[in-house]
Amino acid sequence: MSGRGPRLTRVAAQEYRRLARSEGMPPATHPEVQRDRDIPVRAHDGAALLTDHWHAPDAADSTLLIRTPYGRDGIAGVAKFIAERGHHVIVQSCRGTFGSEGEFSPLHDEVADGQSTLTWLRAQPWATGRVHTWGGSYFGVTQWALCDGPDRPDAMGIAVSARRFDDGIIYPGGGFAIDTTVAWSFALRMQERPLLARIGMILRAACALRRGSLTVPPAEAAQAAVGTDPRFFRDWVEHSQRDDPWWEPLHFAQDLASIPPVALVAGWRDLFLQEQLKDHAALVAGGVPAKLAIGDWLHGAPETSVMGVRDALVSFDSLDRLPDVRIEVTGGIGWRELDSWPPPAESRVWAATAAGGLRPGAPDERATPLSYRYDPADPTPSEGGRTLGPFASGYRIQRRREARSDVVLFTSDPLDDDLLIIGEPRVEITLTSTNPRVDLFVRLCDVDERGRSRTVTDGYIRRNPEAGTHTVLQLASLAHRFAAGHRLRLQVSSGAHPVYLRNPGTADPIRDHSRLLPSEQTFDVGGEHALALHLPAVDGAVLRPMS
């Protein structure tokens, strides 16, 4: 199984060069690396999990473990780079992917398969030192699963991932992330097909994902977009009720005492952001050593790998060498360090006005009702957001969305001074509807001197018809400078499709949607139940230059 100098695919070679060019990386000390391919590691049920071992002849006894469903060749650039710095690197294909035996059933086998892999790894004569794990997204899920068995790694490096997959990723805010789930189904279907077939699928992807997102019933969305009916998608549709016990075994690492020191890498534009920040808060409160870095990244951005690899190489010596919190402040400030997340902040209230304004201070005493109509047959588009789908994600110019009659806008005057907002904004609103089953989506935008409105953050909730009309909606965390001369803009609407599946206006489960009922929403600006935006304003003195 041993080969000559390991050869990399074009994508892996690009990743390797990106790492090599990145600032702060240690030099290679062990250039003579070899790759032992396709080692069959036996799982608890006898299934062979194909595994690659990257190492130099005189490597140290420390090991980095990576478990992935996306293929070992794709991560080979990272593996070679770390092995050249004196560590053993183990890269394993998850069950049912890229030659590993069994069926890939997302989340279900990662605890048992991870334990089998650790047992095999600890028995290797070269693995007598520390075992760290690394990776993002589903790679991160496999790491959290390792905390639920008798053997655990000595440290973890987890990027853009979370302990609970359902609340944060599949049913954010109580809705259904149709764009993310269909896009992931599409990617899994495509990844092991021949090159020409993959190219053809990529060329058809935008139309396929849109077709899937609008399919009725939504239970057929993956079939409509991908041409297959993956079992996991059906399961997620069937088990969409909050606190469904079906999900309980898939909530990993809930016992904080089981979690080793961990370095977390998150992204402001990443779909895991809010759930990952909840994880960080729980770890800190529970006394688990945890470091946090948040960059201005989309899910899967190469910068997350660069940050994660750099942190992994540092933490082989000691996690204490990493700053507690590093954040990239958008709006032109860049990377800074903090003592903690979130930093101390002053809550500043901005009130909406009947004329479509947004001003600091108390709302008008007089209440003015405003209304808009939501029609699920013509769902309000998302125009950006935190999602896996490449055609709906990230910061977007809001011109098309803000021209719609089902989006109500409130815009401030140009700012006299910079406004630095770091933390989690919230919106208070009292919303009545002709239909108690309606979503609420609020987006905060930065409008530049040319009038271009761009996403900064947003929040979404599928309102409980029994919870009353008053809602406190938490927007996703941010660290952003609104520059002097720019304006704040608040959007209020009842949808952001396909990032969140359109609400049909009925109690029908996701597998149905046979009826699409429009509704009229009304809320007040001014008065006792005024719409109010609460922003965590921060003194720039809390930000320290990167050490």
What pLDDT is attached to residue 5? 62
Q: What is the pLDDT of residues 320-341, one digit of tens each?
A: 999 999 999 999 999 999 999 9
pTM above 0.85, yes or no: yes
Per-residue pLDDT, averaged over 242-250, amounts to 91
Whole-angstrom Cα distance, residue 461 to residue 119?
43
Q: Given a cut of 50, is residue 425 above it in pLDDT?
A: yes
Selection from 218, 235, 121, 130 nearest residue 178 by Cα? 218
Per-residue pLDDT, averaged over 113-142, amounts to 97
Tokens 């900064």, located at residue: 456
Q: Among 253-267, 432-446, 498-512, 532-546, which stretch is predicted with the lowest mean pLDDT?
A: 498-512
Query: In whole numbers, what is the pLDDT of the chain averaged over residues?
Result: 94
Selection from 394, 214, 368 nearest residue 301 by Cα? 394
What pLDDT is attached to residue 241? 82
Which contiguous run of DSSP H or E holds residue 368? strand 368-374
Is residue 336 within 8 Å of residue 546, measured between CB atoms? yes
Per-residue pLDDT, averaged over 393-402, amounts to 94
Amino acid, res. 246:
W
Q: Given a cut of 60, is residue 3 above it in pLDDT?
A: no
| Torsion angle (degrees, nearest 10) of CA 356, 362, 364, 365 | 160
Q: What is the pLDDT of residues 143-192, one digit of tens each?
A: 999 999 999 999 999 999 999 999 889 999 999 999 999 999 999 999 99
Q: Crossing angle, helix 302-315 and helix 76-83, to 10 degrees?
A: 30
Per-residue pLDDT, averaged over 299-321, amounts to 93
Whole-angstrom Cα distance, residue 270 to residue 429?
26
Share of the chain above pLDDT 70, in %: 99
Report H helices in 357-428: 399-402
| Torsion angle (degrees, nearest 10) of CA 352, 353, 359, 365 | -100
Whole-angstrom Cα distance, residue 29 to residue 316?
15
Q: Given a cut of 90, is residue 380 above it in pLDDT?
A: yes
> What angle (nearest 5°) sits at the alpha carbon of residue 303, between those of residues 301 and 309?
120
Per-residue pLDDT, averaged over 133-142, amounts to 97
SS3 readout for 436-454: CCCEEEEEEEEECCCCCEE
Per-residue pLDDT, averaged over 215-233, amounts to 93
